[in-house]
Amino acid sequence: MNTGQPHKGTTDLSRYNCSWYKPGNKLLQFCWYFTNVLFFINPMNPFNGLKVMLLRLYGAKIGRGVIIKPGVNIKYPWKLSVGNYSWIGENAWIDNLAPVTIGNNCCISQGAMLLCGNHDYRKSTFDLMVKPITMEDGSWVGAKAVVTPGTILGSHAILTVISVGSGHLPPYTVCKGNPAVVIRERIVEI
């Protein structure tokens, strides 16, 4: 009998299957896990040069003058590209199940999260979905802000503190809220 109400099924995580998702060589993932814990997540390692060297060793494309603060968590460095003179702040989490591209002169502030994965809540199997994230030159993700899968921060766009950015944040704008909306134009004085 159809009551006009949408069907309200149940989630069945016993049927969850993401065997299609192959993020890289299993040995490489295993080695990276311990490198990430010892040298990146560990707040006792302030040595930026060592972190840059390790990221490059694991396949990340890292430009000149990149600053990586203590406590940063990076899922898969071989899916990471960071341009020149960009900063990644304390306790930032780059959960790059898909490629994350960070342009030149970008800033990811303390505790910010770049999340390339999510789950399809409409399916009982809770299927994994992944999409890349792009931060164009000069863009800035504020402290404790969240960038969702598939988001593009346009050139010099700002996602303010504790905001949630999704879709396309236009160039030279300041975006705030959940979901973030443009609140003003960004003017960069020379």
Model pLDDT for residues 7-34, shown as the tens digit of each residue: 788 999 999 999 999 999 999 999 999 9
At the topology level of CATH, where does 24-185 sit?
A: UDP N-Acetylglucosamine Acyltransferase; domain 1 (2.160.10)
DSSP structure string for 21-89: ---S-HHHHHHHHHHIIIIII-TT---HHHHHHHHHHTT-EE-TT-EE-TT-EES-GGGEEE-TT-EE-
- Domain ranges in the chain are 24-185
Q: What is the pLDDT of residues 38-84, one digit of tens each?
A: 999 999 988 999 999 999 999 999 999 999 999 999 999 999 999 99
For the record, the structure tokens of 72 come out as 């940063």
What is the pTM (predicted TM-score) of this model? 0.93
Query: How confident is the model at residue 25, as a pLDDT?
Result: 95
Whether 128 and 115 have beta carbons less than 8 Å apart is answered as: no
3-state helix, strand, coil in the chain (%, to 5): 15, 30, 55
In the predicted structure, residue 1 carries a pLDDT above the cut 70: no
Query: How confident is the model at residue 30, as a pLDDT?
Result: 97
b/e map 135-162, b = 16+ CB within 10 Å: bbbbbbbbbebbbbbbbbbbbbbbbbee
Query: How confident is the model at residue 186, as a pLDDT?
Result: 97
Q: What is the pLDDT of residues 178-190, one digit of tens each?
A: 999 999 999 999 8
Query: How confident is the model at residue 133, as a pLDDT?
Result: 98
In the predicted structure, residue 5 carries a pLDDT above the cut 80: no
Cα separation, 115 vs 42, in Å, equals: 20
Q: Locate tokens 């990586």: which residue?
A: 68
Cα separation, 77 vs 92, in Å, equals: 14
Query: How confident is the model at residue 176, as a pLDDT?
Result: 98
